[in-house]
Amino acid sequence: MYKESFEYFENNNNVYLDNAATTQKPKQVLEIMHDYYTKYCANTHRSNYSTANKATTLFEESRIYLKDFINAKEKEEIIFTKGVTESINFIASSYVKDNFDTVIISSLEHHSNIVPWHMIGKSVDKGLCVVNCDENLNFDIKHFEDLLKKHPKSFVSLTHISNAFGKILPIKEIIAIAHKYDAVVMVDGAQTLAHISVDVQDLDVDFYALSSHKSFGPTGSGAIYIKEKYHRDIRPYQTGGATINDVTFERSILLDSPYRFEAGTQNIAGVLGFYEALKFIKSIGYDEIHKKEIELYLYLKKELHNIENVEFYNDITHSIGSLSFNIKGMNHEDVGILLDKQHVQVRCGHHCAQPIMKHLGIEGTIRVSIAFYNDKYDINKFIIALNKSIDILKD
Amino acid sequence: MSINQRINQSLNQRIEEIRNDLLLFDDDLEKYEYIIDLGKQLEKLDTVHEKDENLVQGCTSKVWLVCEQNEKKLIFQANSNAKIVKGLVFILITVFSNLTPQEILHTDINILKQLNLTEIITPNRQSGVTGMLKRIKEYALAFDKKG
Give residue-wise pLDDT tens across range A197-248.
Answer: 999 999 999 999 999 999 999 999 999 999 999 999 999 999 988 888 999 9
> Backbone phi, then psi, for A236, in 5-degree steps?
-55, 135
Verify whether the Cβ–Cβ distance A341 to B29 is below 8 Å: yes
Nearest CB neighbour to B84, from listed A334, A342, A363:
A334
DSSP β-ladder status, A365-369 and A322-327: antiparallel
The pLDDT of A139-158, averaged and rounded, is 98
Residue B7: band (very low, low, confident or very high) from pLDDT cuts 50, 70, 90: low
Asked if pLDDT for residue B59 goes beyond 60, the answer is yes
The pLDDT of B13-31, averaged and rounded, is 88
Q: Looking at the complex, does the CB of residue B84 fall below 8 Å from at least one CB of chain A?
A: yes
Nearest CB neighbour to B60, from listed A340, A349, A392:
A349
In single-letter form, the type of residue at position A51 comes to T
Verify whether the Cβ–Cβ distance A338 to B32 is below 8 Å: yes
Fold topology of A28-283: Aspartate Aminotransferase; domain 2 (3.40.640)
Alpha-carbon distances of A217 from A213, A305, A352, rounded to whole Å: 5, 33, 21
Return the pLDDT at B118.
Answer: 67
CATH of B4-146, one of 3.90.1010.10, 3.20.20.10, 3.20.20.140, 3.30.540.10: 3.90.1010.10
Range picked from A176-185, B99-108, B121-130 for highest mean pLDDT: A176-185
Is residue A327 within a helix (H) or strand (E), and if so which, with residue range? strand A322-327
Asked whether A320 and A166 are in contact (CB, 8 A), the reply is yes
Q: Looking at the complex, does the CB of residue A338 fall below 8 Å from at least one CB of chain B?
A: yes
Residue numbers in A near B36 (CB within 8 A): 334, 392-393
Return the pLDDT at A308.
Answer: 93
Asked if pLDDT for residue B76 goes beyond 70, the answer is yes
Alpha-carbon distances of A60 from A57, A78, A202, rounded to whole Å: 5, 10, 24
Fold topology of A286-393: Aspartate Aminotransferase, domain 1 (3.90.1150)
Nearest CB neighbour to A337, from listed B32, B62, B81:
B32
Verify whether the Cβ–Cβ distance A392 to B61 is below 8 Å: no
Instruction: Give this complex's ipTM.
Output: 0.83
In single-letter form, the type of residue at position A18 comes to D
Q: Report the share of chain A in percent with pLDDT over 70.
A: 100
In single-letter form, the type of residue at position A15 comes to V
Residue of chain B minimizing CA distance to A339: B29
Compute the nearest-CA separation of A366 from chain B (Å). 14
The contacts found for A1-7 with CB under 8 angstroms, 24 or more apart, are A2/A284, A2/A372, A2/A373, A3/A373, A3/A375, A5/A280, A5/A373, A6/A373
Return the pLDDT at B56.
Answer: 86
The pLDDT of B84-108, averaged and rounded, is 89
Asked if pLDDT for residue B23 goes beyond 90, the answer is no
Query: How would you label B101-119 residue by residue, b for 16+ Cβ within 10 Å and e otherwise?
Result: bebbeebeeebbeebebee
Compute the nearest-CA separation of A24 from chain B (Å). 21
In whole angstroms, give the CA distance from residue A380 to residue A375: 9
In single-letter form, the type of residue at position A70 comes to I
Return the pLDDT at A368.
Answer: 97
Return the pLDDT at B113.
Answer: 73
Looking at chain A, which residues constitute the CATH 3.40.640.10 domain(s)? 28-283
**Helical ranges in A285-375 per DSSP H:** 286-305, 332-341, 354-360
DSSP state of A361: T
Residue numbers in A near B29 (CB within 8 A): 338, 341-342, 388, 392
Residue B5: band (very low, low, confident or very high) from pLDDT cuts 50, 70, 90: low
The pLDDT of A66-92, averaged and rounded, is 98
The pLDDT of B42-68, averaged and rounded, is 88
Asked if pLDDT for residue B128 goes beyond 80, the answer is no
Residue of chain B minimizing CA distance to A363: B61
Asked if pLDDT for residue B127 goes beyond 70, the answer is no
Asked whether B2 and B41 are in contact (CB, 8 A), the reply is yes
Return the pLDDT at A240.
Answer: 87
Looking at chain A, which residues constitute the CATH 3.90.1150.10 domain(s)? 286-393
User: Higher pLDDT residue, B112 or B142?
Assistant: B142
Q: Report the share of chain A in percent with pLDDT over 90.
A: 92
Return the pLDDT at B121.
Answer: 67
- Residues of A taking part in catalysis: 352
Mean of the per-residue pLDDT values for chain A? 96
The pLDDT of A372-384, averaged and rounded, is 98
Provide the strand spans (E) within A117-161. 123-124, 127-131, 155-159
Asked if pLDDT for residue A187 goes beyond 80, the answer is yes
Return the pLDDT at B114.
Answer: 76
**Helical ranges in A181-306 per DSSP H:** 200-203, 268-284, 286-305
Asked if pLDDT for residue B1 goes beyond 60, the answer is no
Verify whether the Cβ–Cβ distance B83 to A393 is below 8 Å: yes
Residue of chain A minimizing CA distance to B122: A337
Asked whether A19 and A371 are in contact (CB, 8 A), the reply is yes
Return the pLDDT at B146.
Answer: 82
Mean of the per-residue pLDDT values for chain B? 84
Verify whether the Cβ–Cβ distance B84 to A341 is below 8 Å: no
The pLDDT of A248-254, averaged and rounded, is 92
The pLDDT of A309-319, averaged and rounded, is 92
Q: Looking at the complex, does the CB of residue B28 fall below 8 Å from at least one CB of chain A?
A: yes
